[in-house]
Amino acid sequence: MGDPLANGLIHLERQSTSALAPGFSGSPLWSPEYQAVVGLVVNADAAGNGHALTLRHIDNHLPDMKLSTFAGWRAEDADDTALSAWGWTLSTDQEAGRHWLPRARGVASDTERGQRFRGRTAALRRLVEWLDLAEPDGRPMVVTGSPGVGKSAVLGRIVTTADRGLRGSLAPDDDAVRATVGSVACAVHAKGKTAGEVAAEIARAASVGLPVTPADLAPTLRERLVRRPGRFNVVIDALDEAATPSEARQLVREVVLPLAHGCARLGVQVVVGTRRSDDAGDLLAPFGSAVELVDLDDAQYFTEADLADYALATLQIAGAERTQRPYTSVDVAGPVARRIASLAEGNFLVAGLVARARALRDTLPVAPEQVSFSATVGDALDRYLEGLPGAGAASARLALTALAYAETPGLPLPLWTEAVAALGGHTTEAALATFAQQSAASFLVESGSPAAPVYRLFHQALNEALLSARGRSSSRRVDERELLYAWVRYGHRVGWAAAPDYLLRSLPHHAVKGQAIDTLLNDQGYLLHAHLDRLLPAADEATTDVGQARAQLLQRTPSAVRADAAERAALFSVVDRLDGLGAALEPAPDVPYHARWARTPPRLERTVLEGHSDAVCDVCVVPVDGRAFLASAGEDGTVRLWDPHTGQTERVMDCHDDCIRGVYAVGDGEDTLLATAGHDGSIRLWDPRTGGHVHTLVGHEDWVRNLCAVPMADGRFLLASASDDRTVRVWDPRTGTPLHVLGGHAAWVTAVTYVPAGPHGMVASTGFDGTIRLWDPETGLAQATLTGHDGWVTTLCGVRTSRGPLLASAGYDGTVRLWDPVYGTLVWKVDVGAGPLTDVCTIEVDGRVLLCSSGEDGVIRLWDMVTSEALSELRGHVSWIRAICTLPMADRQLLATAGDDGTVRLWDPVTGRPPQVMDGGRIGPVAAVCAVPSEEGEVLASTGSDGSVRLWDPADGTALDDLTTHAAGNTDVCAVVDEDRRLLVASSENPAVAIWDLDAAVFLSPLEGHYERVNAVCTLDVDGRTLLASAADDETIRLWDPGAGKVRDVLLGHRNWVTALAAVTVRGHQMLASADKNGVVRLWDGGGKCEWQSHGHHDAVNALCALTVSGREVLVSAGADRVIRLWDTERGQPLLGLTGHTKAVTGICPVPYGDRQILASTSLDRTVRLWDPRTGRVIRSIPVHHRALACRWVDGALVLGLERGLLALAVNTL
């Protein structure tokens, strides 16, 4: 789609073999960016090009067509008949043939004939009664029991008999309990799936929007059921076999419980099938006490006669009868079946294995008393495998053991073949295919496609029995490592881009078990294609230098998780160059861009979490069901929940309409609430599992700045809050009841904390009056007042030490103090000497307890609590650190900080390195860059906040020269080239303009005439003469003869600081464009006359440049209002507005791309964006991890001035 034309038309330009032709008129125009129809084709020409009308234009001019109304329609707005096309049905469920249908018939796979399900009458009746309740009771039902007791069979029977189509196919003599037709709205087999994947399946069944996070499902479904009421029963099986134990628990807390508890009154019920425990422990505990339990091991749900009937059906191979079998007679088979049932101890899997082995191998019927076995899956499996034909040269046991090592969803034939070889066997894909269809058919579940089948064992208990037997002769670690090596070699042979998804998803799991994660981290191809959300949690296990460097690379590039291989390679190259990680990445093909070089100090933080649109005021750890999430709250009124392992946002909660000052978790992890407090004076409590609002605490009369949890002796948790209304309040967060109002401070109370000292513990508070007050949380009585700080005390922290509990405080006097709260004495004091401190916490590192402080200077300081030794400082934030807290990980503790720069950063004090001084020194903020012509090509010039101008080789970033101006800080730089010499000019915070003769290597007399700070300089060609323009805070623009150092003209007219300049060609002549802090853009001719002016921005204009678009030169402006505008230079009219940056746009420049120019922009939002100026669309957004201040195209590279140095990018294919 080309440039917009008159009357709502847009030009359609042929760029492929497909072309428009007569007859296309009226066809819809699809936009991949919007995933929607955006226009209608109206004509076509002979070349295959044409025009379309935008739907917006049609709607504006033909309102009776009500296109805008249609655009708001959604699938769920249709009636029930139409919705059935989108809803769930068993016939379209991929798991129907793999799971529900075979389990319901009592067989292992859908290829087996027969109906062997028997009994379980009491359990089935209870399930049917519960699903048919007139009013759901708000509890989930959990069907549980030991492995092999038939949980999936029972649920499969319910799911299949509730389906009208399948119910009609039941055998005439099938008299088992059946579900009510239509009583199951959705059934999900959770084996190998994440909580998000299960939530998405339920959302599709309900015809609601796909959830971004699992917790989004319940509110969305609730909204749908309010609009269109109806019953919605959900069945979820194999919870214990979810992707990971943590995913299983997330599924319970974010999907099952919110649906069962929060949507019951709207008709939602949930049934879950699971074992009692998994590798992480108890799986029933996360459901809490409000649960309806059906335990199939319980005597009320089991009769031995049911088990005997199932064994009989299996002995007779019901539905697949064969001739010359010994158990065709019920009189013969019945006693044997009853004997099997009596020995199986209620286990249907064991009984089935024993019975099937007899049915397939016995040539004569066995006497019942001769049947003997132990009631374990392992023993039954051993008996079954005796004499079972293998897969080529590999035994049946070895072939099945290879599958037992597999993660869900199982192995395709090529990987199964490789696995057998890795375990010491030999086979072929053809042999395994035959084995899967014949000998092993009873054991396997087949998925995938007919052309590429995927196999797994049908029951988890079989996996466990096979691996247990293997463990008697081989090490699990060695086996896992050999499997890893074999599959990596296969990935190399086929190429990671074409590798089976199993390798990209599941290899990290095998690598951890084989203690060989470096194998994957050292494989660049794998890093570019793998599921990084699976690799990231394992990366900390790296032991090699390259492996550890690449682990840091993954941790510092969270945006790579969702990027494709080419984009991921580009992202990695930027982080590797910026931080000097030495990850040894080779250039990747087809990468859209890559970092050529960087001159930035390495970031010491482990991960930077970006997402808040404004300053972050507080952070805290949120324990939920054994996992530690990180919550951050900021001036944008939102709370973000982060997974610290992957760096991904789990949830965004809109909590307050204004700034949130404090966030704190209240509870013990099983029933945690998240408390938030802000400028609106309220405290709000939230369920972190669902993001749901619980209640609001009202009472404070001014800002609430800080919160803390107060544990009580009886197991309760209270909540304390500190406010600018000079009070501390203590609340019961469960009921919202105010318990105490603690008055005594003479000014704002800005910090509150719990101290584990005294009979009830203590609440400590402090604030603007400089005092620290201690309170009894039980009685609300004052205990003591501590004084000593000079001025505002900003923070408090309770500290546990070998000498007992202490209280740490810090404030605007730059000191950190430790107090004994019992005796009220000062124990220790350190003067940081660096200005106001904002927060303190403690962290345990290698057995030592460290005291940590943060400050307005953006520095984290550490002290050893025993020796009082000051340790290395951690630097990374470019402005205030507002808050700091300890973040527990699996094997260590990290620090989390909240910054004024809008980021949350994670730090590892163990691996934090002191900053290194680079070649060229510490650069600091680079506000401007430019190209300087030289005999060899171009040289790069950059400004520094220290008053220097540095010259660099743009090819590799080598420092060439350092030109000192003695200014407080330089603001802009440009080169002036005429026939005689090369000059370099820099503006600064001083009123003068510095100028150098580069050829003579001398500093010339500065250009003086402005009265205030000079913001911008640029060259201008007027009648063949090169002039220099400068713009300043004195609201003037001065035109200079740079050779003579004289003012030629002064341009007046701006009514505020003049902030930007650029030369632009209009009607064949160069003119000067200027802009100011009010957002006004002006164009001046060579004689100093103002051609036009326009108020094009709502805030200061930070940059101007000329850009060629479709053969004509336009003016581009970029502002603090986050908008970029393109201007018609002749008429002074805006042509296009480019939006997308989330903070001020600081720089713009043209970038040559093929035979045209595109536009680059830098922003304080830490991104560089590349735009197509013909359409206004962003082509690519590049995260650069520092505030970006300037950009210029220099010698084939896009050079960026950053808040902490320089970065050069090569732009390749877009």
Chain segment 297-308, per-residue pLDDT in tens: 888 887 788 788
Measure CA 159 to chain center: 35
pLDDT at residue 433 in the model: 92
Backbone φ, ψ for residue 635 (5° rounding): -70, -10
Q: What is the mean pLDDT of residues 637-655?
A: 85
The CA distance from 992 to 989, in Å, is 8
Q: Higher-confidence residue: 810 or 612?
A: 810
The answer, yes or no, to whether the previous bond of 592 is cis (omega within 30 of 0) is no
Q: Would you say residue 952 has pLDDT above 50?
A: yes
Strand order in the sheet with 1080-1084: 1058-1066, 1069-1076, 1080-1084, 1090-1095
Q: Give the pLDDT confidence of 964-1011 residue by residue, as tens digits.
A: 766 678 999 999 987 678 899 999 988 999 999 988 888 888 999 999
445 bridge partner residues = 456
For residue 82, pLDDT beyond 50: no
Q: What is the pLDDT of residues 449-497, one digit of tens each?
A: 888 999 988 777 888 899 999 999 999 999 999 999 999 999 999 999 9
DSSP track, 768-829: TTS-EEEE-TTT--EEEEE---SS-EEEEEEEEETTEEEEEEEETTSEEEEEETTTTEEEEE
Distance CA 591, CA 1033 (A): 43
Classify burial at 141, counting beta carbons within 10 Å of its beta carbon; exposed 0-12, middle 13-18, buried 19 or more: buried
Q: Which residues, 6+ apart, have CB-to-CB distance to 274 below 8 Å?
A: 142, 143, 144, 151, 238, 239, 240, 248, 283, 284
**What pLDDT is attached to residue 434?**
92
Nearest 5°: the CA angle 470, 476, 482 is 105
Q: What are phi and psi of 618, to 5 degrees?
A: -155, 155
SS3 content of the chain, % helix, strand, coil (to 5): 25, 35, 40
- Decide if 983 contacts 997 (C-beta within 8 A): yes
492, 519 Cβ separation under 8 angstroms: no
Q: How many CA atoms lie within 13 A of 1030 on its CB side?
A: 36
Q: Is the pLDDT of residue 47 over 70?
A: no
Is the pLDDT confidence value at 919 over 50? Answer: no
User: Can you tell me whether residue 501 is helix, strand or coil?
Assistant: helix
The SS3 of residue 649 is: strand
Mean pLDDT over 416-420 rounds to 97
Contact 1170, 1186 (CB under 8 A): no
Report the range of poorest mean pLDDT among 75-79, 381-385, 686-690, 737-741. Answer: 75-79
pLDDT of residue 456: 87
Look at 195-209, 254-268, 804-818 and tell me which has the smallest mean pLDDT. Answer: 195-209
The gap between the terminal CA atoms of the chain, to the nearest Å, is 17
Task: Spell 242-265 as b/e; 16+ CB within 10 A means b.
Answer: bbbbbbbbbbbbbbbbbbbbbbbe
Read off the pLDDT of each residue in 691-707 and give the average, rounded to a whole number.
91
pLDDT at position 1034, please? 95
Which residues, 6 or more positions from 928, have their beta carbon under 8 angstroms from its beta carbon? 942, 943, 970, 971, 972, 973, 1189, 1190, 1201
User: Tokens representing 199?
Assistant: 């939530």
pLDDT per position as a tens digit, 216-229: 888 888 888 887 78
Tell me which of 27-36, 249-258, 686-695, 706-715 is least confident.
Answer: 27-36
pLDDT digits (tens, 9 = 90+) for 836-865: 999 999 998 887 889 999 999 889 999 988
Of the two residues 1069 and 153, the one the predictor is more confident about is 1069
Q: 525: which 2 tokens?
A: 């191809």
d(CA 621, CA 670): 14
Distance CA 231, CA 737 (A): 37
Give the per-residue pLDDT at 533. 87
Cα separation, 349 vs 637, whole angstroms: 55
Is 50 exceeded by the pLDDT of residue 84? Answer: no
Which pLDDT tens digit goes with each residue over 539-592?
989 999 999 999 999 988 988 988 999 999 999 999 999 999 989 888 888 899
Mean pLDDT, residues 510-535: 95
Q: What is the pLDDT of residues 328-354, one digit of tens each?
A: 888 988 999 899 889 988 887 888 888
Which of 158-172, 561-575, 660-674 has the weakest average pLDDT?
A: 158-172
- pLDDT tens, residue by residue, 191-206: 878 898 899 889 888 8
CA 721 – CA 222 distance, rounded (Å): 33
d(CA 1018, CA 1060) in angstroms, rounded, equals: 9
Q: Quick check: helix, strand or coil at residue 541? A: helix
Whether the predicted pLDDT of 894 surpasses 70? yes
What was the pLDDT predicted at 380?
85
Burial class (CB in 10 A: 0-12, 13-18, 19+), 162: buried
What DSSP letter does each residue of 930-998 carry, written as one string? Answer: EEEEETTEEEEEEE-TTSEEEEE-TTT--EEEEEE---S-EEEEEEEE-SS-EEEEEEESSSSEEEEET
User: What's the pLDDT at 6?
Assistant: 56
Look at residue 816 in the predicted model and tell me its pLDDT.
Answer: 93
Residue type at 744 in one-letter notation: G
Average pLDDT for 1089-1095: 95
For residue 382, what are its two tokens?
A: 């051993």
Mean pLDDT of 355-360: 83
Residue type, 67: L
**What are the distances in angstroms from CA 128 to CA 134, 179, 291, 655?**
12, 6, 17, 41
93 has pLDDT over 60? no
How confident is the prediction for the chain on average, in pLDDT? 86
Q: Write out pLDDT tens, residues 542-554.
A: 999 999 999 999 9
Residue among 844, 982, 977, 859 at smallest CA distance from 908: 844
Residue 503: its pLDDT value, please?
97
Q: Which two tokens stand for residue 1?
A: 């789609």
Q: Token digits for 439?
A: 């000998």
Nearest-5° Cα angle at 567, 561 to 572 = 70
Q: What angle do CA 643, 648, 649 make, to 5 degrees?
A: 85
- In Å, how far are 292, 655, 1106 from 289, measured between CA atoms? 9, 30, 69
